[in-house]
Amino acid sequence: MCGIVGIVAKSYVNQTIFDALTVLQHRGQDAAGMVTCESDRFFMRKDNGLVNEVFRTRHMKRLGGNMGIGHVRYPTAGSSSSAEAQPFYVNSPYGIALAHNGNLTNADEVAETMFRADLRHINTTSDSEVLLNVFAHELQQQGKLKPEPSDIFTAVERVHGRVKGGYAVVAVITGYGILAFRDPNGIRPLVYGKRTLANGQEEFMVASESVALDVCGFELVRDIEPGEAIFISMEGEVFTQQCVKDSRLTPCLFEYVYLARPDSIIDEVSVHKARMRMGVKLAEKVLRERPDHNIDVVIPIPDTSRTSALEMAYHLDVKFREGFIKNRYVGRTFIMPGQAQRKKSVRRKLNPIEMEFKDKVVMLVDDSVVRGTTSQQIVQMARDMGAKKVYFASAAPAVRYPNVYGIDMPSATELIAHNRNDEEIAQEIGCDWMLYQDLDDLKESVLAGNPEIQDFDTCVFDGKYVAGDIDQSYLDRLEQKRNDSAKAEKDGQQTKSNESSDLHSRID
């Protein structure tokens, strides 16, 4: 889960990229980066931290140029090293910088092939660097001093033939323009838009979510199709081409549940409306299972679940109340690197209002339950505030399997729903009743916004991987890589490495 943006404009783009990345900050709080291009020169700044921490005035002054790309990152494989902050850069051919959102499931094999056959060295463990070098190699194979859009699209087509997984990519080619493309299944989101200046000239932006376009004054044109590439030249010419023969639209269902901002539109579906429908479906399930329910109040766990909770309360004809006050300066807990840090963060993140809980039967609503760390502590807070009973509803089905397409879900054994039924989960988090959304109801909530969606990536709920690229041996390797102890060991090694050497791939 990362955020990407690329812009071709008639004036400096550094501030617009900064604004877009700030809007996409929810997609990654680990690192941020930007590359701009002026004439035949790149200017880069990237480092660990939030957008407004990474980019200071002195950095912005150096980021000249009318086109560029930006990225906000959270560590897909658990690493928080600044050496893996994006974008990445190669000087041949032409000079290319690239950033991406997602995960290549065959990155290790591709990196090995690139070393032996293409003679290209990968300096980090980031699959973004792998993706960049694959594209650079395929573009160089075209053998052109000045590439045409058709050459660029041919290179993208060959990239799709070599890599597997879920990915949305943005790249800048020195002196030529901005390229963006999406994986053949459309798992990770990507949109593009334009804005017209007073003199009639047009500027263009590609981004992970439409909200970035909105805030920067761009009009949403459409989503990039699965397998499609778009190239925008420095002069503002737009070229698009489908680069995959057999593409299908199967976006990540978890984007609509949790990842995306509610004011975004992804694959023509309003995230806000989808979450409203999720709340209606939850209410209907309550009435099916417990028509004589005794719920006094519905309380959301801020912020992502608020929309669903409000609709749930309305259709149950019970009160909706804000029972938790959120500290907005604490990050999203399920993507924090260690269990100890997550536990500390939950209590700093939320503070309950006693009067909304005391002597009431409370239905707590969250967007999803992953590790259960947050849920367990929140249920205890409700009891400490005097709730008579505490019910817990999830707007998503039980998360039982790891994600391999760009969301750093923990290893399967660290998921609270792994090998547990609903009653056992309720006992584990300490609530009196655990209510999960049905997968079919969740799909219907999104499909109502765009019936043209062919299917979804639902791997975290049912273990079905839409790209057809995952076997048990891969999941076993992932288990070893993603558990908290492995992450802690890796981060410790990287910290020592960073302290002994300042070989970070960044330019201040």
pLDDT per residue as tens digits for the range 125-150: 899 999 999 999 999 999 999 999 99
- Provide the pLDDT for residue 501: 36
Partners of 170 in the β-ladder:
99, 180
317 is in an annotated binding site: no
Phi first, then psi: give them for residue 90, nearest 5 degrees: -130, 150
Predicted confidence band of residue 477 (pLDDT cuts 50, 70, 90):
confident
Strand, coil or helix: 341: helix
pLDDT-derived band at 335, boundaries 50, 70, 90: very low
What local confidence, expressed as pLDDT, does residue 485 receive?
58
pLDDT at residue 113 is higher than 50: yes
Q: Which of 2, 243, 252, 459 is catalytic?
A: 2
Confidence band of 76 (pLDDT split at 50, 70, 90): low
Q: Is 366 annotated as a binding residue?
A: yes
Mean pLDDT of 182-208: 97
Enter the tokens of residue 471: 């076997």
- Name the token pair of 99: 């950033």
- What pLDDT score was predicted for residue 460? 96
Three-state SS for 99-139 is EEEEEECCHHHHHHHHHHHHCCCCCCCCHHHHHHHHHHHHH
pLDDT at 450 > cutoff 80: yes
Q: Which pLDDT belongs to residue 39? A: 87
Q: Quickly tell me which residue has 């000079």 as its tokens.
A: 95
The answer to whether 37 is a known catalytic residue is no
Residue 125 annotated as lining a ligand binding site: no
Residues linked to residue 165 through DSSP beta bridges, in sequence order: 104
DSSP-derived secondary structure for 377-435: HHHHHHHHTT-SEEEEEESS----S---SS-----GGGSTTTT--HHHHHHHHT-SEEE
Report percent pLDDT > 90 for the chain: 82
Q: What is the pLDDT of residue 41?
A: 94
Lowest-pLDDT range of 63-72, 74-83, 116-125, 390-399: 74-83
**Which pTM value belongs to this model?**
0.91
What is the structure's pLDDT at 495? 47
Return the pLDDT at 328: 76
Position 411 confidence tier, pLDDT thresholds 50, 70, 90: confident
**β-bridge pairing 297-300 and 319-320:** parallel
Mean pLDDT of the chain: 91
Element (H, E) at 253: helix 253-254
> In the β-sheet with 165-173, what is the strand arrangement from edge to edge?
88-90, 96-104, 165-173, 177-182, 228-233, 238-242
**Is the pLDDT reported for residue 95 higher than 90?**
yes
